[in-house]
Amino acid sequence: MTMTKPMAQRFSGRLAVVTGASSGIGAAVCHRLTDEGARVLALDVNAPRPQLAATVEFVRTDVASTEAWQRVAAVAAERGGADILVSNAATVDVAAAHETDDVSWDRQLSVNLSAAFKGVRALLPQLRPRRGNVVIVSSVHAHMGLPGRPAYAAAKGGLCALGRQLAAEYGPDLRVNSVIPGPILTPAWDWVSEADRHRSAAQTTLDRMGTPEELAACVAFLASDEASYVTGSELVVDGGWSITKDST
């Protein structure tokens, strides 16, 4: 007989704000945090699926907007104040640097980098007195050069630097950590061919793509008290993608 282990309640009584919550990793993070007792404000430009909508409070938000963050901070304050921010929303235009125009560059930097700064700035008055924490979802693109994503890579590298900076600036009141996902099978891969997915999977040591749930488990660890002595860190969650390269 299969027994389902009851989920720990590490976030009981806590309010988490999660961006990019309607899809992929963000949705999995929302499920994980609510399963473990958190109340979640789920932010996205797109509405969540009904199964997620039933367990979170959805606030339609463009995370690039300073005014939107002011509204989110007001909602969080009404709910008792935010304990956790998971900055996860992202957008990418695939184009070489010489084909990336100002509009595309600015939009990607706004959504992928500035939004994390704006989110922390807006929620800091709530996070600090609660000894809260921030988890930033970066990417292997922060560390590795992969053609066709100059703005995305610059933003992801900037997120890691921002995370360290914020951790140093606001410790001990605030912990700030980044996760570095490798290939995780989410709707962001819908446009990628089956052959290219296999190629990415084969480039990992574990010989497969990761699941959003595996990434969410790592975000939940960093957001939990079990990571109470972890700050300014980068947790690589890439199945060994970045440590193995074919030498032939």
Residues at the interface with ligand NAD (CB under 6 A): 19-20, 22-26, 43-46, 61-64, 88-91, 111, 137, 139, 181, 183-184, 186-188
Residue pair 201/152 in contact by the 8 Å Cβ criterion: no
Query: What gap in Å lies between CA 27 and CA 24, rounded to an integer?
Result: 6
Neighbours of 131 (CB within 10 A): 13
Q: Which is nearer to ligand NAD, 75 or 188 (CB)?
A: 188
Residue pair 111/90 in contact by the 8 Å Cβ criterion: yes
Q: Which is nearer to ligand NAD, 117 or 130 (CB)?
A: 117
CA torsion, ordered 221, 139, 30, 19, to nearest 10 deg: 130
Taking the CA atoms of the chain, what radius of gyration do you get in angstroms? 18
Nearest approach, Cβ of 5 to ligand NAD (angstroms)?
A: 26
DSSP designation for 47 = P
Nearest approach, Cβ of 173 to ligand NAD (angstroms)?
A: 25
Query: What gap in Å lies between CA 226 and CA 116, rounded to an integer?
Result: 23
Q: Which is nearer to ligand NAD, 45 or 77 (CB)?
A: 45
Residue 65: φ, ψ to 5°: -95, 125
Q: Of residues 11, 58, 69, 152, which has the active-site annotation?
A: 152
Query: What gap in Å lies between CA 226 and CA 221, rounded to an integer?
Result: 7
Q: Which is nearer to ligand NAD, 190 or 246 (CB)?
A: 190
Nearest approach, Cβ of 136 to ligand NAD (angstroms)?
A: 9
Report which residue's Cβ sits closest to ligand NAD.
24
Nearest approach, Cβ of 172 to ligand NAD (angstroms)?
A: 27
229 counts as catalytic:
no
Q: Which residues are catalytic?
A: 152
